[in-house]
Amino acid sequence: MEDKQSRELRLEQEEEEEHAKVDVLKYVFGFVEIAVVKCAIELGIADTIESHGSPMTLLELSSALSCDPSPLYRIMRVLVHLKIFKEKPATQLGPKVFAQTPLSKWLLKSGQNSMAALILLESSPVMLAPWHGLTARIQGISNPAFEAVHGEDVWSYAAANPDHSKLINKAMACDARVTVPAVIESCLEVFKGIETIADVGGGDGTTLRLLVEACPWIQGINFDLPHVVSVARECDRMKNVGGDMFDSVPKADAVIMRWVLHDWGDDECIRILKKCREAIPEDKGKVIIVEAVIDEKDEKEDIKLTNVRLMLDMTSNVFLSISLSFNVLTTYETEPMDGS
């Protein structure tokens, strides 16, 4: 006869097996969530409800979006399941409606907290294709995944494809509007005493505009490839300069790089940092790096996913090893954008 302990162990194992049957389907259909979210952005569902000013019925949505209500309803059900929109049940006063949530606000195509362009960039065929070369990259039998698929690195590709370059700039601007205020709030003292700062890889200048607005004593240089800065607008107390960071970096009291180093391997990062070191004063210059740095002592689940995305293991030790020519290395932490 089976004793109590053995029975409990068997039931626990059976429960794990049942969960596994369900969990494996998440991988079978793992692409569905991002596909549906991308569809919602492209259709402008959040923008339509926002413009309407109140929750909308399915028929109102389908009419405004010029969509067949049947497939649209299936999409809305998934989005409600993902807690992106809220479905309010029908009442005596009217049919059920779909309403905005705090999460859906991030999918608006414009606005302070819009992340729509960043999602569209990362879910684009151009950026998804390299993931199919991940295995070969891990095995060391191919060039970097993007280069293996497209025949050139992401920046060369962007230079030859203006639409993709424009999407990159919009995506980076989205991220800047979220991360830069957090950096300023957490690390304002870093920028005190700086009169000029060069934003290396500054894109359309959003990062620098936010920075000089918060720090009116600073003059800024938005530095990026010529085709990038050619479409960046001018702003008070900042100018756009085209060039290649592997050749030289504009002279300034400080250099800031946000989400730049993770695009490159260790050797390239060292070359970039050396050029930054040459650009700043010997006695008081600063190189300010804004990156997702992996803390190996506290590797939370969301950080692990970021680590896979970066594919570089940008740890604090890496920064220590490449900062030998710098006098001081200080690491600051910012709050996650969800406040948790």
Among all residues, which ones are annotated catalytic?
262
Asked if 77 and 133 touch (Cβ cutoff 8 Å), the reply is no
State how far the alpha carbon of 38 is from the alpha carbons of 33, 66, 80, 184, 207, in Å: 9, 17, 15, 31, 25
What pairs with residue 235 in β-bridges? 238
* Contact (Cβ atoms closer than 8 angstroms) between residue 242 and residue 225: yes
C-alpha 62/C-alpha 70 separation (Å) is: 9
Q: Are 190 and 332 in contact (CB under 8 A)?
A: yes
Cα dihedral sign, 238-205-259-223: negative
The rounded distance, in Å, linking the Cα atoms of 151 and 145 is: 10
Task: Copy the structure tokens of residue 65.
Answer: 């979006």
**Tokens describing residue 66:** 């010029």
Please enumerate in sequence order all residues whose Cβ is within 8 A of that of 179, keeping only pairs 6 or more positions apart, or say none. 258, 290, 334, 337
The three-class DSSP label of residue 219 is strand
**CA–CA distance, 332 with 191 (Å, rounded to integer):** 13
| Neighbour-count burial of 56, counting CB atoms closer than 10 A to its CB (0-12 exposed, 13-18 middle, 19+ buried) | buried
**Phi and psi at residue 314, to the nearest 5°:** -75, 85
Polymer length in residues for the chain = 340
Closest CA to 96 of 84, 80, 78: 80
Tell me how far the alpha carbon of residue 49 is from its chain's centroid: 25
